Amino acid sequence: MMEIRTPKTGKAKRVLEQRAPKQVETGKKTLILHGTKTSATVSSVLMELYQLKKGGAIKYSRRNENIRPFESGGETSLEFFSLKTDCSIFAYGSHSKKRPHNLLLGRMYDHHVYDLIEVGIENFKSLLSFSYDKKLAPHEGSKPFICFTGEGFDHVQELKQLKEVLTDLFRGEVVDNLNLTGLDRAYICSAISPTKVFLTHCAIKLKKSGTIVPRIELVEVGPSMDLVVRRNRLPNDGVRKEAMKTSKDKPKKKLKNVHNSAVGGQSGNIYVPDQKVGETKLPDKSKGLKRERRERKLKKEEEGSASKKLKESE
């Protein structure tokens, strides 16, 4: 029988509340892991991927021998790390004679493997191999453009899955409003063939265009690489259906006496109660009445002083 552990401290309760499902989810964190053997290319890719995702990624440098997600029972360690770090996306690098310079990307649902796609890395160029003005370097936490070009992303199942994984990997938090200056990077993904995708990272340079909208120039800042699709595993239909569920919003309160007009606006009926104007007392603020009261008061004071003088003379 499974033991149910309840939080005993305030910190543990807050951690569980942060991991609980939310109406609007926060950005997905990325878990970066090394395999039993990794080449210099794979290590560089994982390190630069961590730099691009800095602030939203957790990287372990220790080598892991028991992670084999495509084999039965080989995802146990991966799910343990996902639960420990609360990461829903992972990147696992390895190198072997059969699959050189191998990169495994995948997503988790409820800390269980949701889907997997394995790619090989070719023609890798690191960040240090590009020369550009360092003022153009993207800032940490900025939002990127993600551009997918090529018919393969619409017709090839493996490239469709790769597009979804890369979008979740690079997009960061979902926001409603965005400042134009916060868009300082772009990821360009081009489908060269049904099994190969060219990925590059560019900085966005805004220039004057004579209008309100600036002219955009792309400056390649790296890294860049070719991703060759090798193996993939799609999610189970039941798991996919469960993951796609969305919570229903509370129904909006119906507004009374409000109608939609023919031009797309809204019109309403306003009911004004009886004001009972005849029974309303008007404020006594007329200047004429004030003058009369003032004159009456002065007259009384004069009559009082005259009567006082008369009594004193007698």
Reduced to 3 states (helix: H, G, I; strand: E, B; else coil), residue 172 is: coil
Residue 127 domain-assigned? yes
Would 79 be classed as within a structural domain? yes
**What is the total count of domains within the chain?**
1
Residue showing tokens 């772009």: 186
- The CATH number of residue 105's host domain is 3.40.50.10480
Phi-psi region of 18 (alpha: psi -120 to 50; beta: other; left: phi over 0): alpha
95, amino acid identity: H
Residue 208 lies in a domain: yes
Domain that holds residue 172: 27-243
Between strands 266-268 and 102-109, the pairing is unpaired
**143 with 178: CB under 8 angstroms?**
yes
**211 domain-assigned:** yes
Check if the beta carbon of residue 91 is closer than 8 Å to that of residue 33.
Answer: yes
Please give the helix or strand (H or E) that residue 92 lies within, else none. Answer: strand 89-94
User: Residue 257: inside a domain, yes or no?
Assistant: no
Residue 259 lies in a domain: no
Q: Which helix (H) or strand (E) holds 44?
A: helix 40-52
Whether pTM > 0.75 for this model: the answer is no
Tokens describing residue 164: 């979804």
Per-residue pLDDT of the chain (314 residues; tens, 9 = 90+): 445 668 889 888 887 777 776 666 667 899 999 999 999 999 999 999 999 988 889 999 899 888 888 988 888 999 999 988 989 999 999 999 999 999 999 999 888 899 999 999 999 999 999 988 888 888 877 888 999 999 999 999 999 999 999 999 998 877 777 777 778 899 999 999 999 999 999 999 888 888 888 888 999 998 999 999 999 999 988 888 888 877 666 566 777 778 887 777 788 888 888 877 777 776 666 655 667 777 888 888 888 777 776 666 66
Pairing of strands 215-233, 258-260: unpaired
d(CA 93, CA 64): 10
